[in-house]
Structure formats: C-alpha cells, structure tokens
Structure 1
Amino acid sequence: MDSQSLTHLYQQHHGWLRGWLHRRLGHAGDAADFAHDTYLRVIESRTALADIREPRAFLTTLAQRVMVSHFRRREVERAYLDALAQSPEELAPSPEERAIVLETLFEIDRLLDSLPPKVRTAFLWAQLDGLPYAEIAERLGVSLSSVKQYMARAIRHCYFPESAA
C-alpha cells in the first residue's frame, strides 16, 4: 500500500467521513471510532488507492460494512448475555471463558454470514432446529440433493474456511 496515497485519502476525506458517520450515528465519539476502523479497513484492503475514482463512495461502503459488523457483534453479544442470564448463577462462566465464547460466536457468525442465504438457512435449520433434510428442501423450495449440497458446502466452509469458496 502506498503510504502517500493513504495520507492523501485521509487528509482529504477524514473530516467528511467523520461528519457522515456522525449524522448517521448521532454521536461524535462513535463517529470517530468508526472512521478509525474504516481507515483500518482501507489499510487491510488490497485496493490500489491510486485506482479509486470515487473515494467518498469507497469510504462510505467500507464505513457501512464497519457499522454492520459492529452492530452484528453487539447483537450476538446481547443474545449470549441474555442466554447466560437464563442459566443458574453457579453455572456462570468466568470472565475469561465468556470472552472466549464471545470471540468464538463472533467467528461463527462471520463464517455463516459469508455463506449464500439458502446454504446458511439450510445449515441453521438442520443444526439448530434439527429439521430433516426433506423438510428443509420443502421449506426452501429446492431438491433434496440441493439441501445435501448446501449442507456439505456449509460444513466444509465452517471446518476449512480458508479453503472454502
């Protein structure tokens, strides 16, 4: 990544991005945090900054992804904490165990979110609801062999995420 292009992008558009985020979030501190995370995504991206024709559109897309990711993580955390609140106090995990479980849940959520919708839905119905493949096929309006392919793809993706396409 060309640091000069990154510096130029930051100098030219950081203030605008923070303002855009502030209008959407209603909080200057959150806007600053999300702007920071957006520029981290810029650094992590493989996009050649010199090739970006619409930098604000590029930054907006990345910022929206950062916000969606943040709110999904918050939703997963809230669901986990709600589930913990329903369990007996003597079974409550330690803070370290909670952190490990949350990070695992975030990773599972990220993996599942990267699957096509029908594949993800079939996998979740089978794993969480225990639905038989025939019922999943009927609900999705696909063949039984499609459900089997969806399940194989989801399982492969979850066990070998770096090799799954």
Structure 2
Amino acid sequence: MSGSRSELDSVGELYAGHQQWLAGWLRQRLGCQDTAADLVQDTFMRLLARPRLFASDGDARAFLTTVAKGLCVDFWRRRQIEQAWLESVRQLDMAAVPSAERQAIIMETLLELDALFSRLPSKVANAFILSQVQGLTYRQIAEQLEVSERMVKRYMAEAMLHCALLQDDLDDDGDTLLLSEVEDD
C-alpha cells in the first residue's frame, strides 16, 4: 500500500462519509445487501491500494461510483460464468461429475480465461475462439473476420502468448488445469 498519511486519513474519512451511501447505491442495483456490502469493501480496498485526495464530495462519489460499477460488471460476469458451469455440471452423468475441488479449479480457470479474453482485442479473442473452439482453419477465420491469413496468424500468436502467461500464473498458484484435462474428467 502506498500513499501519504494524509491520503490514508482521507480514505478513512471517505469511508466514514460515503460507505452508507455507496452500500445503498449498490443494494439498489444488486438487490442483495450482502453482495452490496462485499462490493463496498472491495471498492474501498481498491482506493486503499492507490489512495488519492479529492477536491470535493462530488469527485469522491464519482470515483467511488466508477469503481463500484466496474466491480458490479465483474460480479455479474462471474455469476454468468458460474451459472453456465453449474448448468453444464447438471447435464453430466453423476459418474462424470468432477470432485468439488476439481470443480473449483475448473471454475477458477474459466474465470481466468474470461478475464484473459476480456483484455484481448476483440478480433484476437474471436480468432482464438474460432480456431480452438470451433475448429476453423486460418483461411476460414480470415474470411470470417475479413482480414488476411497473415493477420490471423498474428492474432493467434498474441492469443497464445496470453494463454501461456495465464498458464504460468496458474502454475505459480498451484492451480494448473489444462483445458484438455477438463475433457478427461
């Protein structure tokens, strides 16, 4: 955590002055007091990680609102992924259902992949999905994306680099899971 003593004091003052307002604002959007409370904490944790001073209450609320909106999007995206995963698990034969630990690792991997794809330019992510999920050739991808095959190769190289970095992160966390392993369960 960085920041001067006055910046940290300012975060404390912001929390005291805006926590209830932000909780109400989030509760209205989320319909759940507990989730709203979690996101309030996450919002202020982000502010603590990079303290700043605000010229007015309006500036502070605008900043808190922006951070909270981003956290809401992340929350909804995670919920969608979790629901899709749970629906997939429900459709499996009981013998094929992975253990709870394995399911947690798969879910974490899915969330990491979602984060990876959301950071990639859309054409790069689309090229990767068309190749790896739909099995299209580079020529077919080029036609669909209206780019050259050479560009598709560049897109794929960028996507593969990001996947390799993600795999390294997962290896470091001890939660290694290759997508091919999901099919083996």
TM-score with structure 1 length normalisation?
A: 0.87
Could you tell me whether the CA contact under 8 Å between 1:14 and 1:35 is conserved in 2?
Answer: yes
Residue number among 88, 94, 100 corresponding to 2:93 in the alignment: 88
- 2:83 corresponds to 1:115: no
Could you tell me whether the CA contact under 8 Å between 2:54 and 2:60 is conserved in 1?
Answer: no
Match runs of 1:46-85 below 5 Å: 46=50, 48-50=51-53, 54-85=59-90
Residue number among 129, 132, 135 corresponding to 1:130 in the alignment: 135
TM-score with structure 2 length normalisation?
A: 0.78
Could you tell me whether the CA contact under 8 Å between 1:17 and 1:35 is conserved in 2?
Answer: yes
Q: 1:87–1:28: structure 2 CA closer, same or farther, 3 Å change rule?
A: closer
Unaligned runs of 5+ in 1: none
How far did 1:33 drift? 2.0
Q: Which moved more, 1:49-58 or 1:95-104?
A: 49-58
How far did 1:52 drift? 6.9
Name the counterpart of 1:159: 164
Alignment length, in residue pairs? Answer: 161
User: 1: distance between equivalents of 2:99 and 2:39?
Assistant: 30
| One-letter code aligned to 2:96 | L
Post-superposition Cα deviations, 1:92-120, rounded to whole Å, max 9, x if no partner, equal 11111111111111111111111111111
Unaligned runs of 5+ in 2: 167-185
Name the counterpart of 2:183: none
How far did 1:78 drift? 1.3
Name the counterpart of 1:9: 14
Name the counterpart of 1:21: 26
> Percent identity of the aligned residues?
43
Q: Following TM superposition, where does structure 1 have runs of at least 4 consecutive aligned residues deviating by more than 3 angstroms?
A: none
| One-letter code aligned to 1:116 | P
